[in-house]
Amino acid sequence: MIGFMFVVSFLGLFSLVALRKVMVIDYKLTYPSGTATALLINSFHTNAGAELAEKQVRCLGKYLSISFLWSCFKWFFSGVGDSCGFDNFPTLGLAAFKNTFYFDFSPTYVGCGIICSHIVNCSVFLGAILSWGFLWPFISKHAGDWYPDNLESNDFKGLYGYKVFIAISLILGDGLYNLIKIIYVAVKELLNASSKRNSLPLAGSQDGGNCELPLETLRNATFVKDSIPSWFAASGYIGLAAISTATIPIIFPQMRWYLVLACYLIAPVLAFCNSYGTGLTDWNLASTYGKIGLFTFAALVGSKGGVIAGLAACGVMMSIVSTAADLMQDFKTGYLTLSSPRSMFMSQLIGTALGCVIAPLTFWLYWSAFNIGAPDGLYKAPYAVIYRQMAILGVEGFSALPEHCLEICCVFFIMALVINFLRDVTPKSVSAYIPIPMAMAVPFYIGAYFAIDMFVGTVIVFVWERLKKAEADDYAGAVASGLICGDGIWTIPSAVLSIFRVNPPICMYFGPAYSS
């Protein structure tokens, strides 16, 4: 895995580095996340910003400690059974618990609810109600008719198949709509910018004054001064592509060398589309481009290795497209903070190299300590299952679906398109309350419990904003980060204890009360 990461992770960094001036200076793309990061960094260099940052760090440390200690406390009651501990606390009753409606006291998901927008949290909660509250109980009533009623919980010919494929239909509908939208907007803006490039005013002089012109000139000069030669970028991409083309077929024999080469010929074009779209909207659609590669290569290879080839192509495509967009975001941050682009590029190379080692080792730690991918386990790895089934669907076609699943999938696919269309055509005062299909799809497979946790987080922020808006704006992110980091840090000692077969001493279990 480390070898695969090294041969595919660096290509995205070289694919568009030669176009950084065009994207950042010539077309003046916003890159909202990169701009926000730059504004935050610049604010640290003021007295007020430094003072606020110090308070935010203390707040983060406080809630990190609380989250870590709470996760440690929960561990003692989690036992060795499947239904032990606070993670299986039937807070809404046993009947609701059977349909995964319960609050599992997870600091991570509560933190996610605090940091995510209200519409995302409400969309997730709505998806949980729609799936686990209505759809899955309805389909379960047809067990023995639509599908055999004696199947295991992870059999795709049963209810599990409906959960996965309907979630896929929502994700594909949302991704396809946004892909077409992003390409349309990007092409339109690109043509407009090309026709007006010579007459575009500098950003600092749009108000008619020249007070910011020296800063704009300084930013442009700094960004261009430490240039990264185009020949270096092209040579790096070609060299890495050649190494990868020779290496990946050794790791995955199903992925022939000419298929790998085809990936690297197409990837820069897709990387440019994704980076341009990210600069306009802040939406990184790398997963959508990955799905296109997955279906295409799985269908090309066919039944003899198509699943592995499709997944490998998806990984290659997503790596290139995603890292290229992320690098452009960072270049925008560097441009606004007067940082050397050459230094940022080297930092990206170092960080990517570290990630190629740390990420597989982290995966190995989780894989050794926990039951990754189990439908009823703590770490369900939902997208791993979903992407694998997409590859199977690309190879086998619709024969892999259980009865009536295709019809239901089509309904939800069209529903995702319609919802996205309504979000675009309605006024902002209305579209702000229309759910996001991609967010709705996640609980279809995972369950409703994490949606409840996130909804609790959004309620906390909602009340906090009504009581103390300024305080919530300043500290909500720090509280959320502390909750997420503390719970995440606890997984390291928990995994080590699991590897050494040290089990929790108590199993706290809740069951129905029977009268004697």
Average pLDDT of the segment spanning 308-327: 91
Query: For the CA atoms of 241, 246, 247, 250, what is the dihedral angle to 10 degrees?
Result: 150
Most confident of 194-203, 225-234, 315-324, 498-507: 315-324
Residue 508 belongs to some domain of the structure: no
Burial class (CB in 10 A: 0-12, 13-18, 19+), 373: middle
**pLDDT in the model for residue 203:** 41
Would the pLDDT of 210 be above 70?
Answer: no
Residue 139 belongs to some domain of the structure: yes
- Partnered with residue 78 across adjacent β-strands are 507
C-beta contacts of 118-123 below 8 A and 24+ residues apart: 118/458, 118/461, 118/462, 119/432, 119/433, 119/435, 119/436, 120/436, 120/439, 121/454, 121/455, 121/457, 121/458, 122/435, 122/455, 122/458, 123/435, 123/436, 123/437, 123/439, 123/440
Residue 250: band (very low, low, confident or very high) from pLDDT cuts 50, 70, 90:
very high
Measured over the CA atoms of residue 179, residue 183, residue 189 and residue 190, the dihedral's sign is positive
**pLDDT in the model for residue 133:** 93
Domain count, the chain: 1
- 49 sits in which H/E element: helix 47-75
Would the pLDDT of 454 be above 50?
Answer: yes
Residue 205 belongs to some domain of the structure: no
Secondary structure (H, E, C), 272-305: HHHHHHHHHHCCCCHHHHHHHHHHHHHHHHCCCC
How many angstroms separate the CA atoms of 291 and 1, rounded?
21
Kindly write down the DSSP assignment for every residue of 455-487, as one continuous string.
HHHHHHHHHHHHH-HHHHHHHHHHHHHHHHHHH
Amino acid making up residue 177 = Y
Q: What is the pLDDT of residues 129-179, one digit of tens each?
A: 999 999 999 999 988 888 888 877 777 778 888 988 888 888 888 878 877
**pLDDT in the model for residue 225:** 82
How many angstroms separate the CA atoms of 103 and 456, rounded?
9
The dihedral region occupied by 102, where left means phi > 0, alpha psi between -120 and 50, and beta the remainder, is beta
Q: Considering the entire predicted model, what is its pTM? A: 0.74
Query: For the CA atoms of 28, 32, 33, 39, what is the dihedral angle to 10 degrees?
Result: 80
Phi, psi values for residue 147, rounded to 5°:
-155, 155
Q: What is the pLDDT of residues 16-37, one digit of tens each?
A: 888 888 788 877 888 877 887 7
Would the pLDDT of 217 be above 80?
Answer: yes
- Partnered with residue 507 across adjacent β-strands are 78
Q: How many CA atoms lie within 13 A of 373 on its CB side?
A: 10
Residue 274 belongs to some domain of the structure: yes
**pLDDT in the model for residue 376:** 67
Secondary structure (H, E, C), 214-265: HHHHHHHHHHHHCCCCHHHHHHHHHHHHHHHHHHHHHHCCCCCHHHHHHHHH
Q: Give me the residue label for tokens 């290659």.
A: 316
Residue 340 belongs to some domain of the structure: yes
Could you give the maximum distance between any two Cα atoms of the chain, in Å? 87
Of how many residues is the chain composed? 516
Residue 19 belongs to some domain of the structure: yes
> In this prediction, what percent of the chain has a pLDDT beyond 90?
32
Would the pLDDT of 201 be above 50?
Answer: no
Would the pLDDT of 209 be above 80?
Answer: no
Would the pLDDT of 311 be above 90?
Answer: yes
Residue 182 belongs to some domain of the structure: yes
Residue 183 belongs to some domain of the structure: yes
How many CB atoms within 10 Å of residue 466? Answer: 9
**pLDDT in the model for residue 41:** 82
Would the pLDDT of 65 be above 90?
Answer: yes
Whole domain around residue 7: which residue ranges?
A: 2-193+216-499
Would the pLDDT of 353 be above 60?
Answer: yes
